């Protein structure tokens, strides 16, 4: 009895201690979390949620649903084969009257115009004239006002507008769109520009990545094998541009590559060319400047991996009879591959999102996806398209970063 009592008392003590420890532990975790909380909240509110909303904008568009509620509702029973019945036209007339009164016909016209180019003027004039219509039959009257309402395309568009979600923007981003019967068809060639833009973005990024590797690899190799003092001195030449603002570096190349800039002057003074070469506002200028900006990004990870390769491996290979190139290729190069992968992947990812440099040193045919995101946001005010293109760019970037993280670890992102 007595022994059991002692045992249960010590059990109780142990339990109490465990609970106490757990409580302390929990409080510690809570305190650690409290320290992170302010930044976490800021990031969630001012960064994550805006980006989430942008992604949402790519598939969400309730313009037609809210501004033409009667028409979109009336069409839910429409089979899409012939023109809809008189009741749908009556709903349309009501919606157009309301749009005219509330001055929203412009917004509706713009939305319809995205999918049916040239329709925005028709919608505006229809709204104005529909406001004078008073009695049935509306069908003939509306088709009289604008032949637009006699086309099946606009009706299937309005029917799709019954849902607040649309795949239209994402489809357009890969050069597809809805046909008059709501089936997905390829965009007509004059609007099918985006596949080209994506391919161009990929092409420029691959080219720039390859160029930085070609230029960066020999330098990293040299810097990794020089005595520390010398390599540190030379490293300044790599790190200083890395630290200088991208805008300043782009400015430098704008000045260098101009028609009467330094490079043309030099080439002409050396009699290599007789007339100024076109170096800026084209692909050459874009690739040169991007390569210049990205070179340290590729070089530094390669360098830091090469730093860890012991020179004795090469010496061992040589002493065993390998030729210099064989020893390099079979012994040194494979060990530097992680650095090459990290550097190239990082540069490639950064290149995909380039906006500033193509905008300043590229021509209209050198603009990448990011430029079109900006164009649709600032010039066209077509936020759905901007969001869809942005969402695709973001998805590609995040996917590649996931790979990068698996390969290298984001923690390894160096500051300089």
Partner 1 sequence: MAPFAYSSPIEAVWHYLHRLICGAVLLFLIAPILVIIPLSFNSVPFFTYPMPGLSLRWYEEFFLTSRWQGALYNSIFIAVLVTLLSTVLGTLAALGLSRPNFPWRTAVMSLLISPMIVPVVIKAVAVYFFYADIGLLNSYTGLILAHTTMATPYVVIAVTATLIGFDHSLTRAAAGLGAPPITIFFKVTLPLIVPGMISGSLFAFLTSFDEVVIALFIAGAEVRTLPRVMFSGIREQISPTITAAATVLILFSVVMLTSTELLRRRSQRLRGIRDT
- In whole angstroms, the minimum distance from the beta carbon of 206 to partner 1 comes to 17
- In whole angstroms, the minimum distance from the beta carbon of 225 to partner 1 comes to 6
Which residue, 30 or 136, is less far from partner 1 as judged by CB? 30
**Burial class of residue 310 in the structure, from the number of CB atoms within 10 Å of its CB (0-12 exposed, 13-18 middle, 19+ buried):** exposed
Which residue, 36 or 272, is less far from partner 1 as judged by CB? 36
Residue 296, CA distances (Å) to 115, 162, 214, 243 in order = 44, 52, 12, 10
Residue 255, CA distances (Å) to 258, 357, 363 in order = 6, 13, 16
Which residue, 162 or 318, is less far from partner 1 as judged by CB? 318
Which residue, 143 or 356, is less far from partner 1 as judged by CB? 356
Which residue, 296 or 343, is less far from partner 1 as judged by CB? 296
Which residue, 47 or 191, is less far from partner 1 as judged by CB? 47
φ, ψ at 327 (rounded to 5°): -60, -45
- In whole angstroms, the minimum distance from the beta carbon of 384 to partner 1 comes to 11
Check whether the bond before 351 is cis (ω within 30° of 0): no
The region, left, alpha or beta by phi > 0 then psi within -120 to 50, assigned to residue 185 is beta
Which residue, 98 or 205, is less far from partner 1 as judged by CB? 205
Which residue, 73 or 263, is less far from partner 1 as judged by CB? 263
- In whole angstroms, the minimum distance from the beta carbon of 344 to partner 1 comes to 16
- In whole angstroms, the minimum distance from the beta carbon of 234 to partner 1 comes to 6
- In whole angstroms, the minimum distance from the beta carbon of 265 to partner 1 comes to 5
Looking at the chain, the number of H-run helices and the number of E-run strands are 21, 2
Helix H segments across 258-355? 262-269, 283-307, 311-319, 324-327, 333-352
- In whole angstroms, the minimum distance from the beta carbon of 408 to partner 1 comes to 13
Tokens representing 51 are: 């980006």
Residue 73, CA distances (Å) to 84, 99, 160, 414 in order = 12, 16, 10, 56
DSSP 8-state assignment for residue 188 = P
- In whole angstroms, the minimum distance from the beta carbon of 187 to partner 1 comes to 23
Residues 6+ apart with CB under 8 A from 404: 342, 345, 346, 349, 410
- Nearest alpha-carbon partner for 250 in 300, 197, 294: 294
Let me know: does 161 contact 63? Beta carbons within 8 Å.
yes
Residue 351, CA distances (Å) to 86, 227, 358, 404 in order = 55, 33, 11, 15
């Amino acid at each position: 009895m007595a022994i059991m009592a002692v045992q249960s008392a010590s059990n109780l003590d142990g339990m109490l201690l465990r609970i106490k420890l757990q409580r302390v532990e929990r409080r510690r975790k809570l305190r650690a979390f409290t320290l992170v909380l302010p930044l976490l909240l800021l990031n969630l509110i001012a960064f994550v949620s805006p980006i989430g909303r942008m992604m949402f904008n790519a598939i969400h568009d309730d313009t037609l649903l809210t501004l033409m509620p009667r028409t979109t509702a009336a069409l839910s029973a429409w089979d899409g084969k012939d023109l809809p019945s008189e009741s749908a036209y009556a709903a349309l007339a009501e919606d157009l009257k309301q749009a005219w009164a509330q001055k929203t016909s412009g917004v509706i016209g713009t939305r319809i115009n995205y999918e049916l180019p040239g329709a925005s003027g028709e919608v505006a004039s229809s709204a104005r004239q529909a406001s004078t219509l008073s009695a049935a039959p509306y069908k003939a009257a509306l088709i009289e006002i604008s032949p637009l309402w006699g086309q099946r395309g606009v009706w299937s568009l309005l029917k799709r507008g019954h849902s607040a979600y649309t795949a239209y923007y994402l489809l357009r981003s890969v050069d597809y769109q809805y046909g008059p019967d709501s089936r997905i068809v390829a965009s007509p060639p004059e609007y099918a520009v985006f596949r080209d833009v994506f391919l161009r973005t990929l092409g420029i990024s691959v080219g720039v990545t390859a160029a930085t590797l070609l230029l960066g690899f020999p330098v990293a190799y040299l810097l990794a094998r020089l005595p520390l003092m010398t390599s540190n001195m030379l490293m300044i030449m790599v790190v200083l541009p890395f630290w200088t603002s991208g805008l300043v570096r782009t400015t430098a190349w704008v000045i260098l590559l101009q028609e009467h800039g330094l490079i043309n002057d030099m080439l002409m003074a050396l009699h290599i060319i007789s007339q100024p070469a076109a170096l800026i506002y084209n692909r050459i200028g874009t690739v040169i400047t991007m390569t210049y900006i990205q070179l340290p990004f590729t070089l530094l990870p390669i360098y830091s991996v090469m730093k860890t390769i012991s020179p004795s491996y090469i010496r061992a290979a040589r002493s065993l009879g390998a030729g210099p190139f064989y020893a390099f290729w079979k012994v040194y190069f494979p060990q530097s591959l992680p650095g090459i992968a990290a550097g190239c992947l990082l540069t490639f990812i950064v290149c995909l999102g380039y906006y500033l440099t193509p905008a300043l040193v590229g021509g209209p045919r050198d603009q990448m996806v990011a430029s079109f995101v900006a164009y649709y946001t600032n010039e066209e005010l077509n936020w759905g398209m901007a969001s869809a293109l942005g969402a695709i760019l973001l998805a590609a970037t995040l996917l590649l970063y996931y790979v990068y993280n698996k390969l290298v670890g984001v923690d390894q992102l160096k500051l300089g």
